[in-house]
Amino acid sequence: MGGRGLGLGGVVVLGVLSLVFGRNLFRDFGVDPTAALQAPSAAASADPRARAARDSVEEPMVRFVSFVLDSTQSYWQRQLGPRYPEAKLVLYRGATQTACGVGQSQSGPFYCPADQKVYIDLDFFDELKNRFGAPGDFAQAYVLAHEIGHHIQNVTGTERQVRQMQQERPDLANQLSVRMELQADCYAGVWGHDAALQHIIEPGDLEEGLAAAAAVGDDRLQKQTSGRVQPEAFTHGTSQQRMQWFKRGFDSGDPKACDSFGGR
């Protein structure tokens, strides 16, 4: 996926889904369908059963992520109208080239303003469940909705303003980064509110989203990796802050409630 290609089976699945959803999913995923016709890698040729097994695990995940992508973008298109350019999604494993440099699994999911693409290493979803203790479909949906939140910040000019402020006030760079991440969490919650109104989410999904927000809090991650918490090094916010802002968006359903720069 991404730089590696989908394989013939994946191309067939995306082709069918493109017909079902009435949109070009090859474009959304940044995938070249002709790549499946090229010679397979030595590893894939040596162990086709392993490749088939991996594809069978990934295909349901791809279908789910595609559904969430359509839902989030449909919501923001209704909010912003014609000025909303659709973001694209690249799923990969290991590493992939982006307009913001090489994307690697260590960096986790991220949004690149330069190419307006969301990059998600599928291994992260496994880590979210097994390492961070945040299982469930809606936990994965929260991750994607958060990254689309960064796309909204790019479209509305918030991202550019924050980067400029960080250059002018390097002493506030981390604090500004936290505020931007919390706003993206709130935007994810706003989409969740809309999804609830459309009966897309089920009982317990909100809790899964909150668990995912808590799992990637700076304080929790620092404690897991180094055994101690360093607030001065925070760039995304504490677990409590991330849950708070996600729930603020979910409860209000109003993007205007997501002023993390002026509010607390």
Dist. CA 173–CA 176, nearest whole Å: 5
Q: Which residue has the higher pLDDT, 94 or 182?
A: 182
Taking Cα atoms as reference points, which of 191, 247, 218 lies closest to residue 108? 218
How much of the chain exceeds pLDDT 70, in percent? Answer: 76
Q: What is the pLDDT of residues 168-204, one digit of tens each?
A: 999 999 999 999 999 999 999 999 999 999 888 887 8
DSSP bridge pairs for 96: 103
Provide the pLDDT for residue 244: 95
How much of the chain exceeds pLDDT 90, in percent? Answer: 45
Q: What is the pLDDT of residues 120-148, one digit of tens each?
A: 988 887 787 777 766 678 888 999 999 99
Rounded to the nearest 5 percent, the helix, strand and coil shares of the chain are 70, 10, 25
Q: Which residue has the higher pLDDT, 106 or 18?
A: 106
Q: Considering the entire predicted model, what is its pTM? A: 0.77
The pLDDT mean for the chain works out to: 80
Q: What is the pLDDT of residues 148-169, one digit of tens each?
A: 999 999 999 999 999 999 999 9
Please say whether the beta carbons of 104 and 124 come within 8 A: no
Provide the pLDDT for residue 28: 54
DSSP bridge pairs for 110: 119
Provide the pLDDT for residue 78: 96
As to burial, measured by CB atoms within 10 angstroms (0-12 exposed, 13-18 middle, 19+ buried), residue 173 is middle
As to burial, measured by CB atoms within 10 angstroms (0-12 exposed, 13-18 middle, 19+ buried), residue 40 is middle
Please say whether the beta carbons of 167 and 228 come within 8 A: no
Provide the pLDDT for residue 139: 85
Provide the pLDDT for residue 225: 81
Q: Which residue has the higher pLDDT, 42 or 93?
A: 93
Provide the pLDDT for residue 23: 55
Provide the pLDDT for residue 1: 33
Question: H or E element: which one contains 98?
Answer: strand 95-98
Query: pLDDT class for 252, splitting at 50, 70, 90?
Result: very high
